[in-house]
Structure formats: C-alpha cells, structure tokens
Amino acid sequence: MAKTYFKDDANLDLIKKRKVAVIGYGNQGCSQALNLRDSGLDVVIGNIDDEYLVRAKKDGFQTYSIKEAARKADLILLLIPDEVATEVYYRDIHEELQAGNVLSFASGYNTYYGHISCPDFIDLVLVGPRMGGPDVRVRYENKEGFVSLIAVEQDHSGDALNIAIAIAMAIGSTQGALMSSFKEETIIDLFGEQLQGMALYTAQLAFEVMVEAGCSPEASLMELYVSEEVSDDWRNCAKIGLWKQLRGHSTTSQYGQLTRGELSAGEDTRELFLKVMDDIKSGKFSREWALEQKNGMKVYDSLVKRSLAHRINQVEEDIRKILNHGKESAT
C-alpha cells in the first residue's frame, strides 16, 4: 500500500515560520493560496500583470512580480501552467533561490522530463491535488478535504518529506497525502488525461452510430452523458466500487455491460494503452508537445476547431434549450 499521511502526521510549524510565495493565481494558485492563508501561513503572491493579479489583490494578498516574490520567500509554490513554467523558472526564480529554500510543484512534468533542473541546495517537493482548482477551495471550506500525491525529489534540509506533508495538509489534503514520485505523478497524470480523451472520442463515435441507427440525436446524447446518469455511475464507481456498483443496475443492463463491455477491452485496446503509455514514459509525447508549441500550436488549433465543428455541439445546444425550458415550466 502506498504510504499515506494524514493531519496528525503534519507539523505545520515547519512551514508557518516561513514566508510563502504562491507563484500564479489561477485554478490551483488562487485556491491553494487562500487555503494556506486560512491555515495560518504568511502568503504573498507572485504574478505577471494580468487579470489574475487583479484577483489576488482583490482577495487581499500582498502581490509582487514573480522575481520579487521568489526573492522574498523561503517556500515557493510554482502554480502556473506547465507549458510556461520552464521559461518563468529560469527567467525569474532560478537566480533568486537561496540555500534552504523549498520549491514545491503541483505537477512532476517539467522536472521529470528534465526541463527544469534546480540547484542542489534547496528542497524540491511536489504536492499535487487530485482535484480541480475551484474544488480545492470549496472542499477546504466545507472541511471535506481531498487527496494529494506528494513526492520529494531533493532533500537538502533532511526535512523535505515533513515539509511536503505540512504543505499538503495546509492546502486541505486531509483525505490523505499519498507518497508518490515526480515520475509517477507525471505518468499517471498524463495517462489519465489521455484516457479521458479516448473516452471523449468514444462518446462521439457512439453518438454517430446511434444516429445512423435511426435514434434521435437528442435522445442519444441524453443517454450518453447529458442526463448525467453516466456521471452518477462513475461517482458510484468511486464510492461503491467499479464492479460492485453494477448491482444498482437492472440484470439486463448488468448482463449487457459484462458481455459487450469486455469487447472494448481486448488485446487491441491493451496494445493501444501500451503505446500511449510508452509515448509518455519515453518522452515522445512531451517532445511532440514542446515542438507543437514551438511551431505555433497549428495542430492543437485545428483539432480544437474540428471538435467544435462536430454536429454534437449543436445538439448539445438544442438539448440545453429543452432542459432550460423544462426547468422554467417546472417553477
């Protein structure tokens, strides 16, 4: 079992005496900064001059340029998109690091692929919530907590693990901080995202087949995901169990799922998964993505354009109208 840490394992004094700079005030930055402040930490924000900076000021934080914030802090949480983090790190943070500082990432991506390499006189840790940014705040406020993966890449102080645990608890990971590594966090994060992409294309393909079979586009999409029955099934997988939740379905449904479902999980799919995993582990995906950004995101832009041009988008709009009308007539 992965070693997991809880609130009782955390010594918040280890980080309370430090000046904390949260770099970035977006999805994660905003929520984590607010949670850290409410946990009693001394937090400032480092941000470029954009709308996120305005939001940080409005939330009452002392704000600085990224370079200045990094200079002032002993503990730096780098919470900006992975695509820009390398450039920002070398431009504004690298030179400002002092012996004994702690640098914390929410993703292992840039370190694992060797894009960012830190001096050996700092602690380098990872605290990666398995939760979207807004929910990191909501769940902290509701005292529900969430799970984070934690990892230590460099332990200069000898206390890096305890510091990672303290950060994890201070941002609200009270459901557990699971010991991981920068490598593992990167692999499961990318694989999980890419698997989700396969599910999206599968849903679109299923929609096309259902419509070709004469089903109405609206009823088909309702069945596939719009009614949220499927989201409930996935929620039940998390709460009850992948297979145990099947008991909540009719026997006909269970038989269909158990027999037809397995057809999509044969050797071909295994081969596909292995290829996707290999591209992640070998760095092929990361190199391809870096090249794509360098070449002006042409492939990305055309795929986004193609996805939004698919008929499914219009059908979703039509269904939204039906559902809104239904809501209005119910009140």
* Interface with ligand NAI (CB under 6 A): 24-29, 47-48, 50, 52, 79-82, 84, 88, 106-107, 128-129, 132-133
Residue of minimal CB distance from ligand NAI? 26
Residue 21 or 226 having the CB closest to ligand NAI: 21
The nearest distance, CB 31 to ligand NAI, in angstroms, is: 8
Can you tell me the distance from the alpha carbon of 63 to that of 61, in angstroms, rounded to the nearest whole number?
6
Burial label, 316 (beta-carbon count in 10 A; 0-12, 13-18, 19+): middle
Helix 27-38 / helix 160-171 crossing angle, nearest 10 deg: 90
Can you tell me the distance from the alpha carbon of 304 to that of 324, in angstroms, rounded to the nearest whole number?
27
Q: How far is CA 77 from CA 18, 144, 171, 222, in A?
A: 12, 23, 11, 41
Residue 205 or 297 having the CB closest to ligand NAI: 297
Residue 65 or 257 having the CB closest to ligand NAI: 65
Residue 26 or 119 having the CB closest to ligand NAI: 26
Contact 107, 127 (CB under 8 A): no
Residue 101 or 110 having the CB closest to ligand NAI: 110
The nearest distance, CB 75 to ligand NAI, in angstroms, is: 16
The nearest distance, CB 165 to ligand NAI, in angstroms, is: 17
Terminal C-alpha separation, the chain: 50
Contact 320, 221 (CB under 8 A): no
User: Among all chains, which residue has been given the structure tokens 């790190």?
Assistant: 89
Residue 15 or 23 having the CB closest to ligand NAI: 23
Alpha carbon 138 to chain centroid, angstroms: 16
Residue 169 contacts by C-beta under 8 Å, 6 or more apart in sequence?
Answer: 5, 6, 7, 9, 10, 12, 39, 177
The nearest distance, CB 57 to ligand NAI, in angstroms, is: 12
The nearest distance, CB 24 to ligand NAI, in angstroms, is: 4
The nearest distance, CB 56 to ligand NAI, in angstroms, is: 8
Can you tell me the distance from the alpha carbon of 193 to that of 157, in angstroms, rounded to the nearest whole number?
34
The nearest distance, CB 132 to ligand NAI, in angstroms, is: 4
Count Cα atoms within 13 angstroms, Cβ side, for 73: 33
Residue 41 or 88 having the CB closest to ligand NAI: 88
Residue 160 or 190 having the CB closest to ligand NAI: 190
The nearest distance, CB 160 to ligand NAI, in angstroms, is: 19
